[in-house]
Amino acid sequence: MSKIRTRIAPSPTGSPHIGTAYAALFNYVFAKKNKGDFILRIEDTDRTRFVEGSEQEINEALSWLDLDTDESPLKKGNFGPYRQSERLEIYKEYIEKLLTAGKAYYCDCSEQRLLKVREEQQSRKENPHYDRKCRYDPPIKTNNAVVRLSVALDGETEVEDLIRGRIVFENKLIDDQVLMKSDGFPTYHLASVIDDHLMEISHVIRAEEWLSSTPKHVLLYQAFGWKLPHFAHLPLLRNQDKSKISKRKNPVAVEFYRREGYLPEALVNFLALMGWSMPHDQEIFTLEEMINNFTFDRIGTVGPVFDVQKLDWLNGEYIRALPDHELVKLLLSGFTKYSKDQVELIITLVKERLKKLSEFDKFVAYFFEEEFNPNVELIQVVSGHSKNDTIDKLNDLLLEAKRIENNNWGKKNLEDILKNKPDQIGWSKTNYFQTIRVCVSGTNQTPPLFDILEVIGKDKVLKRISANISELEKLSD
Ligand code: GLU
């Protein structure tokens, strides 16, 4: 069997899209499972949409996700990347072959004529298509002409899709598509087919939105007399409302997820779960495990919803699985303004609840910041007792806490001193300890209370309790 080779062929039109990462993952996995190659081809023939720097970003995103391509510019000694804009001579050579064989033809129909034909077809409720005028009445001059494929007028074109099975398209509904534009640049269809053939791509694995182009590609392969690759069209990623994923409803740039502090392993795991499943519905798995278990028949055809809450949950799982020192290193790589010592001091406490690295500073501010805004609304909710009763109990606490020597301000000692308080004063443990928690942190969700009291320190704890008492006193009864 010939070597398995897959590719992604993004257009460099901006920051790489999450859909590109999704296609890259499945192409990578299938190639690696079969000891094959995974190739990057930059489809940059549409110069109006070209964005400088985008190619570099694509490479960085792939490398961050650990989906490095073979023949990549980031790997020394390789011959990629493939850029279509550097291959124009190749496309010209092949278009000549089609013209000579009578399988393609020049067309010089003007925009206005094409528009008129389309309008007439629409008024007759026909599918808009080129009426093939130049196929039967060739233009005399060809310098400003486009080249079109001569598509058979009847019969059918079959696409055998590894995910969707056999799909049949009627030829009479397939347009005599443009292969080469009047400026000598190839269209996507032409360049993509020639490149997939010359680069010996064995499996074209891409998003569902390209499925309707595939019969055109099959016809082109046939016109060239080339062997078809295998095709697989991945389901489309969807927004919560089931529409095609779009930046209006969902962040789509890979870079967004990197900046938010999602771990690449978690993002890859999440993308793998989009439409594909592991045996026994295992939810957390490595890229290696995916490679070992990958088959096309585990991919569904229904477009999976890109559920950011699920991604958050997965990311939290990956964060917890990291050794503390690695998590500290990652946080210090640009996700926190706090020092190494500060981060190390609290990492085990906050690791449990962290979902994204970018949330870290917000989560831990109360440990370190001098400035503190009492949250007396929440205190009133969690205390479960009247304002005055709460103030009394906080004043008692303040006295008690003041008596604790600085060097005894440790979680064990604090627990010993405070653990029987609720019973003594007739409050439930929840009411009492939640009140203290909100007093010192401003929130009712924190790591264990005595741990945070120890880290925040006696000074700040006393100040915050006093500040809360003053704020409560200002409230009307
Ligand atoms: N240039 C197309 C894109 O931007 C490639 C589609 C394909 O994989 O054939 O996604």
Going by CA atoms, what residue is nearest to atom 10 of ligand 1? 10
Just list the catalytic residues: 247
Residue 70: band (very low, low, confident or very high) from pLDDT cuts 50, 70, 90: confident
Residue 294: band (very low, low, confident or very high) from pLDDT cuts 50, 70, 90: very high
The overall average pLDDT reported for the chain is 95
- Per-residue pLDDT of 325-375, as tens digits, reads 999 999 999 999 999 999 999 999 999 999 999 999 999 999 999 999 999
Architecture field, domain 87-234: 3-Layer(aba) Sandwich (3.40)
Phi-psi region of 225 (alpha: psi -120 to 50; beta: other; left: phi over 0): left
Cα–Cα distance for residue pair 365/161, rounded to 1 Å = 53
Helix axes 387-403, 376-383, angle to 10 degrees: 100
| Percent of the chain's residues with pLDDT above 90 | 93
- Which atom of ligand 1 approaches the CA of 43 most closely? 1
Between these two residues, 328 and 72, which has the higher pLDDT value? 328
Residue 271: band (very low, low, confident or very high) from pLDDT cuts 50, 70, 90: very high
- Assess if CATH 2.40.10.480 describes domain 376-474: no
Residue 77 has a pLDDT of 47
Residue 1: band (very low, low, confident or very high) from pLDDT cuts 50, 70, 90: low
- Which atom of ligand 1 approaches the CA of 13 most closely? 4
32 burial type by CB count under 10 A (0-12 exposed, 13-18 middle, 19+ buried): buried
Name the fold adopted by 254-364: Glutamyl-tRNA Synthetase; domain 2 (1.10.1160)
Q: Is the shortest distance between the CB of 11 and ligand 1 below 6 Å?
A: yes
- Per-residue pLDDT of 93-112, as tens digits, reads 999 999 999 999 999 999 99
CB atoms within 10 A of CB 466: 15
From-to residues of CATH 1.10.10.350 in the chain: 376-474
What is the Å distance from ligand 1's center to 17 Cα? Answer: 12
Find the mean pLDDT for residues 73-99: 81
- Per-residue pLDDT of 440-472, as tens digits, reads 999 999 999 999 999 999 999 999 999 999 999
Residue 296 in this model has a pLDDT that exceeds 60: yes
Residue 59 in this model has a pLDDT that exceeds 50: yes
- Per-residue pLDDT of 196-205, as tens digits, reads 999 999 999 9
Find the mean pLDDT for residues 275-288: 96
Q: Which of 7, 18, 41, 43 to mutate to test the pocket of ligand 1 (most atoms within 8 A of CB)?
A: 43
Residue 217: band (very low, low, confident or very high) from pLDDT cuts 50, 70, 90: very high
From-to residues of CATH 1.10.1160.10 in the chain: 254-364
Residue 278 in this model has a pLDDT that exceeds 70: yes
Which tokens belong to 101? 């064989």
Residue 311 in this model has a pLDDT that exceeds 70: yes
Which tokens belong to 365? 């501010």
Q: Is the shortest distance between the CB of 186 and ligand 1 below 6 Å?
A: no
Find the mean pLDDT for residues 57-76: 82
Residue 347 has a pLDDT of 97
- Per-residue pLDDT of 371-414, as tens digits, reads 999 999 999 999 999 999 999 999 999 999 999 999 999 999 99
What is the Å distance from ligand 1's center to 8 Cα? Answer: 7
From-to residues of CATH 3.40.50.620 in the chain: 87-234
Q: Which of 84, 188, 189, 190 to mutate to test the pocket of ligand 1 (most atoms within 8 A of CB)?
A: 188
